[in-house]
Amino acid sequence: MIAWLLNALAQGCMIALIALGYTMVYGVLRLINFAHSEVLMMSGYAAFLMNDRILGGYARGGQSGVIIATLVAMVAAVALGVSIEAIAYRPLRKRARGATARIAPLVTAIGVSMFLQSVAQLAFSATPQKFDPRLAPPMPSVILVAAVVMAGLYALVHLTWIGKAMRAVAVNAEAARLMGINPSRVIVFTFAVGSALAAIGAVLYATTQASIEPTMGTAIGTLAFVAAVVGGIGSVPGAMLGGVLIGVLGELVKHTTFSGMKDAIVFILLVVVLLVRPAGLLGSARAEKV
């Protein structure tokens, strides 16, 4: 029972780390960044190549090699996330107006996601890559790492100047600009933090549960997106809660006769939550101009 609970919480924590990237970008930009799942996938490849090809895997690098690979993956993810924002989204923010301002970034995000999947398939092939099983951290360590990271993020958002700036831009970007805040810098910082969290989640997920392949981001990214919506997209505590709920629910369903319907049951939960509380469990409805 304890082992099951630890595994469920670890799964939920990994999903929550990835869901935070979705919710942070949406909270500031009102944009669902579908390319976030591909940042996750690319950072997984970066960690694998660093650990397996450069550091020599478990035989030469041991567990410390995974830590170095994770740091490299975080740098790669930040670089990719910031580049996506600068190349794909920033020009649209400056030029799009009206309904186009919402639709164009969404379509662009889907296009960037498909583009990165194709690039990964060309660069790394479709053959799944696996970390050495001996590199998998114990589930309590996964939970501890995720809890520390999420606590640090919560402190960053609520106790620091940049966190206050992020919340100000989320409420009203123009008013924040009048108060001396540069919204563009805040947005870049948001993408950087969200991408770094995705890299941590990718390494934890790949070392403990899955192989790395071009479609890796689709499965875990979809669960993370559902977790962000269930918890209340735009809410950091909501993404954490949603991730844990989805993880526990998924592990619970695995041990029933409905194990083949795990994803369907997760989406049923999403529909139920949205019917009862459209803003999510910890989300708050806000009036918008139309």
The domains of the chain are located at 2-276
Q: Tell me, what's the pLDDT at 46? A: 96
Q: pLDDT band for position 97 (50/70/90)?
A: low
Asked if residues 56 and 18 have their Cβ atoms less than 8 Å apart, the reply is: no
Q: Tell me, what's the pLDDT at 61? A: 72
Give 288: exposed, middle or buried? Use CB within 10 Å, 0-12, 13-18, 19+: exposed
Q: For domain 2-276, give the CATH number.
A: 1.10.3470.10
Q: Which of 191, 224, 216 is nearest to 45 (CA)?
A: 216
pTM (whole model) above 0.85: yes
Q: Tell me, what's the pLDDT at 92? A: 86
Task: Name 44's Cβ contacts closer than 8 Å, sequence gap at least 6.
Answer: 73, 202, 203, 205, 206, 212, 216
**Percentage with pLDDT > 70 across the chain:** 95
Q: Read off the pLDDT of each residue in 218-224 and give the average, rounded to a whole number.
A: 89
- Average of per-residue pLDDT values in the chain: 89
Asked if residues 253 and 265 have their Cβ atoms less than 8 Å apart, the reply is: yes
Q: Tell me, what's the pLDDT at 96? A: 65
For helices 2-29 and 236-254, angle between their N-to-C axes, nearest 10 degrees? 140
Torsion angles phi and psi, residue 128, rounded to 5: -65, 140
Q: Tell me, what's the pLDDT at 98? A: 60
Residue with more model confidence, 263 or 246: 246
